[in-house]
Amino acid sequence: MQISVIGCGYLGAVHAAALAVMGHEVVGIDVDERKIADLSQSRAPFFEPGLPEALTEGFAAGRLAFSSEISEAKNATVHFIAVGTPQKAGSNAADLTYVFAAVEALMPHLKPGDLVVGKSTVPVGTARRIAELIAPTDARLAWNPEFLREGFAVNDSMHPDRIVYGLADDGNRDELKQVLDAVYATPIAEGAPVLVTELETAELVKVSANAFLATKISFINSMAEIAEATGADVTELADAIGLDARIGRRFLNAGVGFGGGCLPKDIRALMAHADEIGVGDSVAFLKEVDEVNLRRRAHVVSLAAEMLGGSVAGKRISLLGLSFKPESDDIRDSPALSIARLLSEDGASVVATDPEAIENARRVLTTVEYADSVESTVANADLVILLTEWKSFVQIDPSALSPLVSAAKIIDGRNVLDAQRWLAAGWDYRGMGRYRHE
Q: Is 107 in the site for ligand NAD (CB under 6 A)?
A: no
CB closer to ligand NAD, 70 vs 289: 70
Pick one of 19, 26, 82, 142: the residue that binds ligand NAD (CB under 6 A). Answer: 82
Listed in sequence order, the DSSP H helices in 191-255 are 199-230, 234-242
Asked if residue 251 belongs to a known ligand binding site, the reply is: yes
Selected range binding ligand NAD among 99-107, 313-321, 357-365, 400-408, rule: CB under 6 A: 99-107
**Residue in 238, 262, 357, 416 annotated catalytic:** 262
101 binds ligand NAD (CB under 6 A): yes
Continuous H helices in 67-172:
97-106, 126-134, 153-158
Ligand-binding annotation for 85, yes or no, is yes
Among 49, 57, 98, 125, binds ligand NAD (CB under 6 A): 98
- Contact region for ligand NAD (CB under 6 A) — 4-12, 219-227, 278-286, 316-324? 4-12
Distances from the Cα of 30 to the Cα of 2, 56, 59, 194, angstroms: 17, 19, 18, 29
In whole angstroms, how close is the CB of 325 to ligand NAD at the nearest point?
10
**Is residue 150 within 8 Å of 258, Cβ to Cβ?**
no
From residue 148 to residue 187, the character string flagging contacts with ligand NAD as x (rule: CB under 6 A) and all else as - is x-x-------------------------------------
102 binds ligand NAD (CB under 6 A): yes
Q: Which is nearer to ligand NAD, 184 or 429 (CB)?
A: 184
Task: Tell the smallest beta-carbon distance from residue 208 to ligand NAD (Å).
Answer: 13
Binding mask 236-275 for ligand NAD (x = CB under 6 A): -------------------------xx-------------
6 is an interface residue for ligand NAD by CB under 6 A: yes
92 in contact with ligand NAD (CB under 6 A): no
Residue 7 to residue 82: CA distance in whole angstroms: 5
Q: Is 262 a catalytic residue?
A: yes
Closest CA to 254 of 299, 284, 210: 299
Binding mask 18-47 vs ligand NAD (x if CB under 6 A, - otherwise)? -----------xxxx--x------------
DSSP state of 408: -
Q: What contacts 362, CB < 8 A, 6 or more positions away?
A: 370
Cβ nearer to ligand NAD, comparing 43 with 437: 43
Measured distance CA(283)–CA(293) in Å, rounded:
16
- Classify the C-alpha dihedral 198-202-208-209 as positive or negative: positive
Residue 143 binds ligand NAD, judged by CB under 6 A: no
Rounded Cα distance, 203 and 123, in Å: 7
Instruction: Provide DSSP, 133-157.
Output: HHGGGT-EEEE------TTSHHHHH
Q: Which helix (H) or strand (E) holds 96?
A: none
Residues that contact ligand NAD, how many (by CB under 6 A): 27
Identity of the residue numbered 398:
P
- Hey, which residues does 165 pair with through a beta bridge? 196
Tell me whether residue 19 is annotated as binding. Answer: no
Question: Is residue 325 at the binding interface for ligand NAD, with CB under 6 A as the rule?
Answer: no
Its sign, for the CA torsion 328, 332, 337, 338, is: negative
112 contacts: CB under 8 Å, gap ≥ 6: 137, 138, 139
User: Distance of CA 181 to CAs 1, 186, 295, Å?
Assistant: 11, 9, 44
Nearer to ligand NAD, 100 or 285 (CB): 100
State the Cα–Cα distance between residues 132 and 198, nearest whole angstrom: 15
| Amino acid, res. 56 | T
Least distance between ligand NAD and beta carbon 14 (Å): 8
**How near is the Cβ of 241 to ligand NAD at its closest, in Å?**
27
- Contact criterion met (CB below 8 Å) for 385 and 299: no
* Binding region for substrate: 147-150, 206, 251-255, 259, 325
Return residues touching ligand NAD (CB under 6 A): 6-12, 29-32, 35, 82-85, 98, 101-102, 105, 120-121, 146, 148, 150, 261-262
* Binding region for NAD(+): 30, 35, 85, 121, 150, 265, 332
Active centre residues (catalytic):
262
